[in-house]
Amino acid sequence: MSHHLLNERVAFQTLVRKEVRRFMRIWIQTLVPPVINALLYLLIFGGLIGTRIREMDGIPYMDFIVPGIIMMGVITNSYGNVSSSFFGAKMQKYIEELLVSPVSNITIVAGFIIGGVARGLAVGLLVALVSLLFTQINPVHPIITVLVMVLTSITFSLAGLINGIFAEKFDDISIVPNFILAPLTYLGGIFYSVSLLPPVWEVISRLNPVLYMINGFRYGILGASDMPIWQSFSVIAFFICLLGFIAMRLLNRGIGVKQ
Amino acid sequence: MNALSIRQLTKTYDHSVHALRGIDLDVASGDFFALLGPNGAGKSTAIGIICSLLNPTSGEVQVFDHNLATEREAAKSLIGLVPQEFNFNAFETVLNVVTNVAGYNGMGWKDANKRAEYILKRLDLWEKKDTPGRQLSGGMKRRLMIARALIHQPKLLILDEPTAGVDIEIRRSMWEYLTQINEQEDTTIILTTHYLEEAEALCRNVAIIDGGEIVERGKVAELLSRATMETYVLDLIEGPASRSSQLGPFALRYRDDGSLEVDIPQGHTLNELLKALTEAGVQVSSMRNKSNRLEQLFLQLVDRDAS
């Protein structure tokens, strides 16, 4: 391995270690709330309302919503981890440690993204464990399950990074999660199948990329989905490429980090 | 070899504010160099560009012959920066703050910890290695920033107002430490400071920047010799019989506290002044510089009223 690549690898490991240490240090803020949220959703939608609904697309309602609730935790936490970490680094100006050092922009992006993925997966795993109190999880396609979860986490980590790059005040990192991400997630088929919607709303729903991610994950766990799995992977791949390109371009031009 | 070469460096903010107007600057390897200028002169902008915190509008920066634009990694690995404001993660421990930067510079975990122990001990911070940065005193925070900048043994250390807000004792110990790393480890140091006696005491060469342009540069000793005037404040036992504003070549100003301010023009000596004062019947109990010579020269160059 060349000297340059070796240095980049060490820098990447350092950045990932720092990012994981950050969310583990404040685990009570980063890991506990999403698990409690998920517990409440499972209790109210699955345990209470779900007993009246019984089945969705022939699947017990509790089993139907579990993949979506896990993915909701993965999505919001991957996004939130990177947006708040990057914005915090900008606000306290310790982003300058990275800008002064010889770390390449791609390593900076990768380090923050893996930090977001680590938190997204940690939350996903914890929510899955809590779900076991209500139902069993036996993934029909384990590889697809893991792949969709990791790739979705990468997608939203990249989105969070872009948000962090543009953010200039705290409000800027809460607007997108509250007013864009939450509606997209809730309307992304966590609690219902889009096939139940009137045709117009079904078409509109299919414009929501989160729908493809949740359904891809549901396919991995239950073997059932509102759309073919290739569509899920295509949408995720498209957004990873698009967001990755935007994030790299922003950092290369110094937007949001260099005045 | 030059540690730093800057050619025609310009920076324009918002298409209208010209922070740098095509500066050229060379800093020799091993030098202890002062970059001086009033607030808003362009010092921090220049440092920001050298350290990749700002994009230049045009121009070229070379660090030990590595072009910052085309040999980014090689150039940046040679630079350590101590910025004006505290800019470390206040929630990280002292040890993590420095080892993170070591890692960003490609230093493996073992080497980073070993070097961190050495540098933190030298800066009297080892006892605080597990303390979060936010719990340190102002002086310790300042030293932590120096430790962080030196963790990867940069050949060029840039300090932007490193002793601002630091008490005299810590300032002196930092001077001593900086002199040591400059002389013993051959680290080139570029210093910006508002304490001109600091620049006079530490630096061999100086550039003065004003309005985005270098208005003066050279050896500190040479520049000092060009100071046209030096002002002293004299405490008097007995004043002159009559108060005049001139005593031979020396301009006199009487102060409210009874002391006397005297300007000694270039080419005249303290001995001549004391002789003239004695002849005029003035008895002096003590005397001191009103401001140091570099400060006077600085004020002359940036068109400020030296009095």
For tokens 């020396």, the residue is: B250
Establish, for the pair of chains A and B, how many residue pairs have beta carbons separated by less than 8 Å. Answer: 90
Lowest mean pLDDT among A141-150, A233-242, B13-22: B13-22
Task: Tell me whether residue A258 is in a domain.
Answer: no
Average pLDDT of the residues of chain B = 89
Determine the residue among A2, A10, A85, A100 to mutate to test chain B binding: the one whose Cβ has the most chain B Cβ atoms within 10 Å: A100
Give the per-residue pLDDT at B307: 41
Give the per-residue pLDDT at A240: 98
Stretch B128-144: mean pLDDT: 94
The phi and psi torsions of B155 (rounded to 5 degrees) equal: -85, -20
Average pLDDT of the residues of chain A = 94
CA atoms within 13 A on the CB side of B208: 22
CATH number of B2-224, picked from 3.30.1540.20, 3.40.50.300, 2.60.40.10, 2.40.160.20: 3.40.50.300
For tokens 């230093």, the residue is: B107
Model pLDDT for residues B24-43, shown as the tens digit of each residue: 999 999 999 999 988 888 99
The phi and psi torsions of B263 (rounded to 5 degrees) equal: -95, 125
Q: If pLDDT is split at 50, 70 and 90, which confidence band does A97 have? A: very high
Q: Which residues of A touch B96 (CB under 8 A)?
A: 18, 21
Task: Tell me whether residue A75 is in a domain.
Answer: yes
Is the confidence at residue B283, as pLDDT, over 90? no
Q: Select the more confidently predicted residue: B292 or B234.
A: B234
Q: For chain B, which residues make up each domain, given as ranges?
A: 2-224, 228-301
CATH tag, B228-301: 3.30.70.1560
Stretch B172-184: mean pLDDT: 90
Stretch B208-219: mean pLDDT: 91
Domain of residue A100: give its range.
3-253
Could you report the predicted ipTM of this complex, rounded to two decimals? 0.91
Q: Which residues of B touch A92 (CB under 8 A)?
A: 87-90
Task: Tell me whether residue A259 is in a domain.
Answer: no
Is the confidence at residue B227, as pLDDT, over 70? no
Task: Tell me whether residue A233 is in a domain.
Answer: yes
The residue in chain B having the minimum alpha-carbon distance to the alpha carbon of residue A14 is B103
Could you write out the three-class secondary structure of chain B?
CEEEEEEEEEEEECCCEEEEEEEEEEEECCCEEEEECCCCCCHHHHHHHHCCCCCCCEEEEEECCEECCCCHHHHHCCEEEECCCCCCCCCCEHHHHHHHHHHHCCCCHHHHHHHHHHHHHHCCCHHHCCCEHHHCCHHHHHHHHHHHHHCCCCCEEEEECCCCCCCHHHHHHHHHHHHHHHHHCCCEEEEECCCHHHHHHHCCEEEEEECCEEEEEEEHHHHHHCCCEEEEEEEEEECCCCCCCEECCEEEEECCCCCEEEEEECCCCHHHHHHHHHHCCCEEEEEEECCCHHHHHHHHHCCCCCC
Q: Which residues of A touch B87 (CB under 8 A)?
A: 92-94, 96-97
Contact B73 A7 (CB under 8 A): yes
The number of folded domains in chain A is 1
Task: Tell me whether residue A210 is in a domain.
Answer: yes
Q: If pLDDT is split at 50, 70 and 90, which confidence band does B306 have? A: very low
Sign, Cα dihedral of A82, A87, A92, A93: positive
Give the per-residue pLDDT at A259: 64
Stretch A88-92: mean pLDDT: 95
Q: Which residues of A touch B92 (CB under 8 A)?
A: 18
Which residue type does A130 have?
V
Is the confidence at residue A92, as pLDDT, over 70? yes
Model pLDDT for residues A60-77, shown as the tens digit of each residue: 999 999 999 999 999 999
Stretch A167-177: mean pLDDT: 93
Is the confidence at residue A107, as pLDDT, over 60? yes
